Amino acid sequence: MYRKISSLLIFITLCFPVYYVMGAQQDNFYIPPLDDVGLRDAESDSKVVYSTLKEISDLALRNNFDIQLAQFDAMLRETDLDKAVSLYDIIVKSEARFTDNQRREVSTFSGTRSRVNNYSLSVSQRLPTGTNIEMNFDNTRSWTDYPLYTTVNPAYESSVRLALKQELSKNFFGLNDRSRIKITRIEIQNARYTSLDKIEQMLAEVQRLYWVIARDLDIVCVRREMYARASELFQLNKDKIKKGIIEKPQLVSSEANLKQKEIDLLLAQNELKSHINELKFLLNLEDKKVIILPGESLECVSQEQILTEALKVAFSHRRDYLRAKNDVRSQDLRLIMKRNSLWPEINLEASISRNGLNNHLSEAINDISSEDNPEYFLGFKITFPLQNREARSEFNKAKIEKTKALINLKKTEYRILTQIKNRVRDCNILRKRVDKQRNVVRLQEEKLTAELKAYRYGRSDTDTIIRYQNDLLLSRIMYSQALLEYREALIELLLSENCLLDKFWKDTL
């Protein structure tokens, strides 16, 4: 009767794997008891937190050091825009000079002493049209101790001058200036894409580790179960040897199997703890007593991946492809700038000024507008190196750089096509592997169950039961590994499409 009960317990244990479910409202949320995974005994005062994949991802995006560094890299690059646009800043200059001349002069008509005070204020700005505009206000006070040959002493001279300078050939109406700013914007956008790539890579690493821990939990539970089966087999053999049903080698074999299962369980628990600590480091958790455990099962609803849909998503989201297209745009702008630099430098300059002269400052300022005493200037300047070798060299270099950018764009397109094909194929093959490995587990359970029936009637031996138990253990471990690799393949596909980050983070860069 005892043998029948023992065999029934073994059969029930084999047919019902150890899975723990947390409630009907979250069917995919399971919590293995801490005593089963070996964490409660080691860290009895620890706080256990069961988290979903989204919660872990959100925590990583907030706390991870590498993600924070990548965000700051993008922010640093954005500061270059102000530097580029500073070309159009309004510049204000102010100057004051004082001269007291007491030097001996050749002519006695110059006097023995003179003083000159000069104050000036200017405002200038470069416009997007390539026009430099400047307005100056100057005021000079002069005095001499020999006023016979001076009309006004002391004399105040105030003047206002408006000057324009327009570039007509090189930098044609500000073409190069505007192109440089556009190139800076493109480079900032490319730097932002690079930072997003780093953030997405780190998020993928966190999610992979999350599923590795889920796999470790499954393996610990499986090894815990197999340890219980080995223990029960050992106890059964102890009873049998007392009754003289089996020989001692079978008892020793079952005892050695029990010890080995205990060692395997300890190693599995240790690996689980190591991966938990790695995840805590990536999440930058300051509370060392917190234990993060997955709240989702490795099992998931699998579906076939469609290549055409994946390619469509990839070409609209891949940041390396967007960077390659931006590089082509940037090289187009540089080529236009270098072609424009082949032209001679032609500058048109014009100015108008008025002044007032009086022995009082206020009246000198009023004379600027009240009297008709303007000065006009118009200038036309051409500068052109005869060989012009530097400009031609830069132009030829720009053409080569554009060709390289176009080739790199084609290379990127082909790389995306190849990667997406491989990722889609991996997902579909690993999905089939999961289904087949599940059937392997079922068949191994059926094989062990049938052999236990034979063992109960004395038609089998301990070594065969142990071997069949190990076959079942290996198949279940391989099943957990297959689920993990399928999860990782899905992450790799999203990573290849550059869509992983969009599911968990609102872009703020």
pLDDT digits (tens, 9 = 90+) for 409-445: 999 999 999 999 999 999 999 999 999 999 999 999 9
Residue 424 Cα distances to 129, 208, 221, 303, 419, angstroms: 52, 18, 31, 11, 9
Work out the angle at residue 25's Cα, subtended by the Cα atoms of residues 24 and 26, and round it to the nearest 5 degrees: 90
The whole-number pLDDT of residue 151 equals: 64
Listed residue (160, 140, 157) closest to 354, CA to CA: 160
Residue 484 Cα distances to 176, 212, 431, 440, angstroms: 54, 7, 11, 17
Distance CA 42, CA 34 (A): 10
pLDDT at 34 over 70: no
pLDDT at 40 over 70: no
Work out the angle at residue 458's Cα, subtended by the Cα atoms of residues 452 and 461, and round it to the nearest 5 degrees: 65
- Give 12's pLDDT tier (boundaries 50, 70, 90): very low
Considering the chain, what percentage of its residues have pLDDT values greater than 70?
Answer: 86
**Out of 1-10, 107-116, 375-384, 395-404, which region has the weakest mean confidence (pLDDT)?**
1-10
- Give 150's pLDDT tier (boundaries 50, 70, 90): low
The whole-number pLDDT of residue 149 equals: 57
Quick: pLDDT tens for 291-308.
889 999 898 877 889 999
Listed residue (349, 350, 347, 351) closest to 382, CA to CA: 347
Distance CA 479, CA 215 (A): 10
- Give 16's pLDDT tier (boundaries 50, 70, 90): very low
pLDDT at 15 over 60: no
The whole-number pLDDT of residue 350 equals: 92
Domain boundaries, the chain: 2-79+182-326+406-503, 89-175+343-388
* 2-79+182-326+406-503: CATH architecture: Up-down Bundle (1.20)
N-term to C-term CA, the chain: 72
The whole-number pLDDT of residue 402 equals: 95
Count the alpha carbons within 13 Å of 416 in the hemisphere toward its beta carbon.
25
- Give 502's pLDDT tier (boundaries 50, 70, 90): confident
Q: Which residues contact 426 (CB under 8 A, 6 or more apart)?
A: 489, 492, 493
Q: pTM score, two decimals?
A: 0.80
The whole-number pLDDT of residue 37 equals: 58
Which of 63-72, 137-146, 356-365 has maximum average pLDDT? Answer: 63-72
Bridge partner residues of 47 (DSSP): 290
The residue-averaged pLDDT of 157-175 equals: 88
Bridge partner residues of 124 (DSSP): 91, 134
pLDDT at 199 over 60: yes
The whole-number pLDDT of residue 107 equals: 61
pLDDT at 10 over 60: no
Listed residue (422, 420, 440, 421) closest to 481, CA to CA: 440
Q: 440 φ, ψ to 5°?
A: -60, -40
Distance CA 323, CA 480 (A): 39
The whole-number pLDDT of residue 243 equals: 79
